[in-house]
Structure 1
Amino acid sequence: MLKNKDVPSELKNFNSLFFSFQYKYDLYNLYDDLLTLIICCLARQTEERLYFETIKKYEKKELTTFAHLMGELFIIYNNSKTFGEWCDPLGEYYECLASNSKKSAFGQFFTPKAVCDMMANFVTPKDWGKQINEPCSGSGRMILASNQITKGNYFIAQDLDPICCKMTAINMAMHEIRGEVHNMDTLRMANLRMSYSINFDFYKHKTPLILLKRPD
């Protein structure tokens, strides 16, 4: 079990809830399912089939725990917005799981927040309305840091890891960033598995939106 002392203070409640599943499910798959359910909830009823396919192996009380996990994350995002900062609770918790696990599936460690902020200051255009590419997005931290410098740009992100793409998509949606995320091999520009359209109509509805587009 990942002890509360090993996670950031804002994620302690989240961690306690997450590990209530630990003896029954693989943690990597559990985290992936959580990300999928969040995306389904932000998809405005366009991913009902994926939602029901994902939840079918869980009991009713476990689905309630998923709802509480989402609630904890939304509180963190809202608090960050209140203080005018960006946050990456998904990436932070994923790193905690990776540092505590011997499974090869947990293999991602992301650029520290302070380094992202410094790099964003160097490369982010000061005028808005640009298209900016992030070819290896991780959890989307460089995008979040860049958006903090100049809002109103459109981001195109790619990553080979499907979990990274899901974290990037959710982080972008919750930070009110428009763009798209592609689960693909960026070096070869091949093997597209899934695409996510983020907040394309945010100006109209003012609510986070993620739409999935599967390759033909």
Structure 2
Amino acid sequence: MAKNRLPEELKKFGNIFDSLSRRHGTYYIFQDFLDLSINAWSFDYKMDLVAIRKKYSEKERQLFGQLIQETIHILDRMIATDNDFYDVFGTFYEANSLTNKHFAQFFTPLHVCQLMAQLTLDKEAQNFNDPCSGSARFSLASNSVKPGMFHSLIDIDFTCARMSALNLMYHGIHGIVICDNGLIAGKSFRGAFIVNRWLKYQGVPQIEFVDNVNHAYDYIRVKLGLPEPKKVPAQSSGETKSPIQEVADIIVDSKTNQISLF
């Protein structure tokens, strides 16, 4: 990748990354980096570690460890106060979008996210919702303005869902990230990540992987204090909403497409 496109704080990260990508390809290294990063903080993430060991040499596997370590160092340098935040994953992803067709997204600039959060955030808000989270920048910005909210994020792209989960975890945010279609809940579900459920009790960040779509949306239902699912009559019409769609509509109404951020 073109190193001159990386900001100074990501140059060392980029050098380590390039040592791997020259042989295996930028896109595939990034995917494995996200998986290994989540696996480092999760006890139940479903990934094929045997295949990873076969694909990479011992030295290359150590380089992945260095990437995770450098991620922590970058965040340690960039986040000096509780009002600071930094998107390592999205920033690096965007730099690759300029030169690699597999990285095809650009996200709202960090300073714009922060301005939007400052202008729109309700001081009484207890929850934050985003039906198209990207790398979770708006979550990070909102948390910098009002820490302690519960974050419910959805994105149809599994790469974005993993970046979002990692960003929430590293920034000490409690929430859930669901990989699904935000308008039609359950149609494109690929898993969910419950982030930092026990952080305030144990002081240890953690990501829990959920492969059951009902469990994922039920977690939001409970955290938002929503009523139990409506009982569907045995001979109900096809217009009846499913329990998971009822929860999803709190985030973005499937009929009006109206987004509810807080």
TM-score normalized with structure 1 length: 0.92
Task: Specify the alignment match of 1:79 in structure 2.
Answer: 77
Range with greater deviation from structure 2 (186-195 or 160-169): 186-195
Task: Specify the alignment match of 1:2 in structure 2.
Answer: 2
- Ranges in structure 2 where 5+ consecutive residues have no aligned partner: 214-262
Task: Specify the alignment match of 1:151 in structure 2.
Answer: 147
Paired residues in the alignment total 211
CA distance in 1, matches of 2:31, 2:47: 17
Give the conservation status (yes or no) of the 8 Å contact 2:128–2:152.
Answer: yes
CA distance in 2, matches of 1:55, 1:169: 24
Task: Specify the alignment match of 2:194 in structure 1.
Answer: 197
| Deviation string, structure 1 residues 15-52 (Cα, Å, up to 9, x no partner) | 00101123321211210110010000011x33486444
Matched, 1:40 2:31: no
| Deviation string, structure 1 residues 138-163 (Cα, Å, up to 9, x no partner) | 00000000001111100000001101
Matched, 1:114 2:114: no
CA distance in 1, matches of 2:17, 2:76: 20
| Deviation string, structure 1 residues 113-162 (Cα, Å, up to 9, x no partner) | 1110111112222135x122100000000000000111110000000110
Give the conservation status (yes or no) of the 8 Å contact 1:37–1:54.
Answer: no
Give the conservation status (yes or no) of the 8 Å contact 2:35–2:47.
Answer: no
Deviation at 1:79, TM superposition (A): 2.1
Partner of 1:82, secondary structure, is: coil
Give the conservation status (yes or no) of the 8 Å contact 1:184–1:192.
Answer: yes
Give the conservation status (yes or no) of the 8 Å contact 1:116–1:142.
Answer: yes
CA distance in 2, matches of 1:99, 1:83: 31
Range with greater deviation from structure 2 (173-182 or 17-26): 17-26
CA distance in 2, matches of 1:183, 1:42: 18
Letter in 1 for 2:109: P
Deviation at 1:12, TM superposition (A): 0.3
Task: Specify the alignment match of 2:89 in structure 1.
Answer: 90
Give the conservation status (yes or no) of the 8 Å contact 2:198–2:205.
Answer: no
CA distance in 1, matches of 2:209, 2:68: 19
Matched, 1:212 2:189: no
CA distance in 1, matches of 2:53, 2:132: 30
Range with greater deviation from structure 2 (110-119 or 55-64): 55-64
Consecutive aligned runs of 4 or more in structure 1 exceeding 4 Å deviation: none
Give the conservation status (yes or no) of the 8 Å contact 1:40–1:50.
Answer: no
Task: Specify the alignment match of 1:27 in structure 2.
Answer: 26
Deviation at 1:53, TM superposition (A): 4.1
Query: Which has a greater percent of strand?
Result: 1
Deviation at 1:109, TM superposition (A): 0.2
Q: Are the structure 2 counterparts of residues 142 and 164 from structure 1 closer, same or farther at C-alpha, using a change threshold of 3 Å? A: same
Partner of 2:31, secondary structure, is: helix
Partner of 1:132, secondary structure, is: strand
Partner of 2:10, secondary structure, is: helix
Q: Which has the larger radius of gyration?
A: 2
Matched, 1:14 2:13: yes
Give the conservation status (yes or no) of the 8 Å contact 2:154–2:177.
Answer: yes
